[in-house]
């Protein structure tokens, strides 16, 4: 971080242990991380803060059958065309991937996935 502003990340997941792990991991590899546990908190952070460099959102917030994560994706994409947006899901489909991309997601990843791998993919997206 020589002179350059630290990169900022928003992570959204309703499962506290996952949220905490994502936050501590990405902080330890140099990101400034804001954590949000639900859609409303995520929307507020997106509205109040400058655009994030990276947004990582769980597809299903609060309940197996909701796809609130897509609303986070849409809000983040509306806020900034430059944000790199990743969606995490436990069980997806090709269709779901299409929908997520239509809302503005750059990448859909299946859980569980090693965080160093996710970090590498984030770097690749940022380098584009």
Interacting residue ranges for other proteins, rule: CB under 8 A: 15, 17-18, 20-22, 24-25, 28-29, 64, 88, 90-91, 110-116
**CB closer to other proteins out of 3 and 17:** 17
Looking at the DSSP bridge assignments, the partners of residue 56 are: 11, 86
Minimum separation from the CB atom of position 41 to other proteins (A): 19
Per the CB < 8 A criterion, the answer to whether 105 and 86 are in contact is yes
Smallest distance from the beta carbon of 79 to other proteins, in angstroms? 26
Cβ 48 to other proteins, closest distance in Å?
Answer: 26
Angle ∠(56,100,22) on CA atoms, nearest 5: 15
Nearest to 43 by CA among 5, 8, 82, 70: 70
C-beta closer to other proteins: residue 44 or 110:
110
């Amino acid at each position: 971080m020589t002179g350059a502003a630290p990169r900022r990340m928003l992570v959204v997941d309703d499962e506290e242990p996952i949220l905490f792990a994502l936050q501590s991991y990405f902080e330890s590899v140099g990101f400034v991380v804001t954590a949000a546990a639900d859609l409303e908190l995520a929307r507020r952070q997106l509205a109040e803060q400058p655009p994030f460099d990276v947004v990582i959102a769980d597809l299903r917030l609060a309940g197996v059958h909701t796809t609130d994560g897509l609303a986070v994706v849409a809000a983040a994409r509306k806020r900034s065309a430059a944000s790199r947006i990743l969606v995490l899901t436990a069980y997806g489909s090709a269709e779901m991937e299409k929908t997520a991309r239509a809302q503005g997601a750059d990448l859909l990843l299946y859980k569980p996935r090693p965080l160093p791998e996710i970090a590498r993919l984030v770097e690749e997206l940022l380098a584009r």
